Amino acid sequence: MSDQFNPTADITPDDKLWGLLAYLLNPLFPILILVMEDKKNRPFMRYHAIQALGWTVVWIILSAVAIGLCLSPLALVGTIYFAVKAYQGEYVTIPWLTDFMKGQHWL
């Protein structure tokens, strides 16, 4: 695994804010992060943008099969939790989603 996502790397307050917004204002802010040259080159922002998009895709798929309708409150709580952790400067690990995304070399 590359050292691109080193937790001790320089994480600025701007990185933390954009990480928070990536989860709360999904999918607009993750897409903005990935198309803005200065943002997508920041490992912390890129990590959270890609993971926030993955999180959204999972809940859209689950909602499409009606399972997500019952779990929507849980998804909201999870989203807020991930956003707060990103704002605290931490790399969030969503149990199976993060492993899948790392296995695909997206993270």
Q: pLDDT digit string (tens) for 74-106?
A: 778 888 999 999 999 999 888 888 889 999 988
Distance between CA 18 and CA 29 in Å, rounded? 8
Q: Is residue 1 part of a domain?
A: no
pLDDT at residue 3 tops 70: no
> Cα–chain-centroid distance for residue 21?
9
Q: Is residue 32 part of a domain?
A: yes
HSE toward the beta carbon, residue 82, CA cutoff 13 A: 30
Q: Is residue 49 part of a domain?
A: yes
Query: For the segment 38-48, what is each residue's pLDDT rounded down to a tens digit?
Result: 888 999 999 99
pLDDT at residue 64 tops 80: no
* pTM exceeds 0.95 for this model: no
pLDDT exceeding 90 applies to what percent of the chain?
39
pLDDT at residue 6 tops 80: no
Q: Is residue 5 part of a domain?
A: no
The residue range of the domain holding 58 is 12-103
How many structural domains comprise the chain? Answer: 1
pLDDT at residue 5 tops 70: no
